[in-house]
Amino acid sequence: MRRRGTDAGYLFLIDHAGRGAEIPADEVELLTGRPVVGSVTVPEGGVAVVREPVAEPSGE
């Protein structure tokens, strides 16, 4: 699930299948405080919450 605010976006990831997954993302994983560059690994049966940058309007 992805939610966007005015200052940041938030990506909520839950592994219900118990297989783990690598998901494209960038910025910081909030539960661990670790930087995320390119992707975040969701552990088997685990969760991750990533704060993402908000894209600037293109102005075109």
pLDDT of residue 57: 62
How much of the chain, in percent, has pLDDT values that exceed 70? 92
pLDDT at 59: 57
Q: What does the alpha-carbon distance between residue 22 and residue 36 come to, in Å, rounded to a whole number? A: 11
Tokens matching residue 5:
């605010």
* Domains along the sequence of the chain with CATH: 2-52 (2.60.40.1180)
Distance from C-alpha of 36 to C-alpha of 33, rounded to nearest angstrom: 9
Rounded CA gap, 4 and 8, in Å?
6
**Per-residue model confidence as pLDDT tens for the chain (60 residues):** 999 999 999 999 999 999 999 999 999 999 999 999 999 999 999 999 999 988 766 655
Say what the pLDDT of residue 54 is.
84
